[in-house]
Structure 1
């Protein structure tokens, strides 16, 4: 069962109706430190006995990505998703393990604001 009290106000703040499926998707995403694929979210919901279709998971992720609540990345050629903080930020993404760190920085570099910066995290660099 989804954590309705936790997610309903967050969805309302970004203008998205809190359906049971969206709440379940948010619960699944919140359980992960690294970004996860829609297929993995779907499989985890199925394992929990939820009857949410893969298309519904994709639609929920798309609407939440468009609203800025979730961010989509590409890791190993696959779209993966992660919950984002509410403050304006950009992402530091490890090319090896997929770890994503948020950084709140409003500085522009030659007129550009970074959205995603790819590199290698400290743990992967030590390997």
Structure 2
């Protein structure tokens, strides 16, 4: 099981990856939306803002999210680290129920490019 610091590092790497992206991926990530990433096995939630292709203002709090974000991810700590590290396909993990992604319909359509 990954720890909270490894999860924070993975989210920072994800943000760097999004900044470096180009084409359709860059367009899909160029949203301005609130974002939460619930880490189930650590009972921890990271909250921040997806803005201009990067994740900003990340905070960490115990338990479930205090507020409903516009984009909500739920997964285990190991799955977060594996997806960001390229060892696990987001699409396969999502299809297999290991990762849950919730967002408005329009946002889901844009985010599917990231899958």
Same fold (TM over 0.5): no
- Structure scoring higher RCO (CA < 8 A, sep ≥ 6) equals 2
Structure 2 length as normaliser, TM-score? 0.26
Name whichever structure is richer in helix by fraction. 2
Name whichever structure is richer in strand by fraction. 2
Larger Rg: 1
Structure 1 length as normaliser, TM-score? 0.25
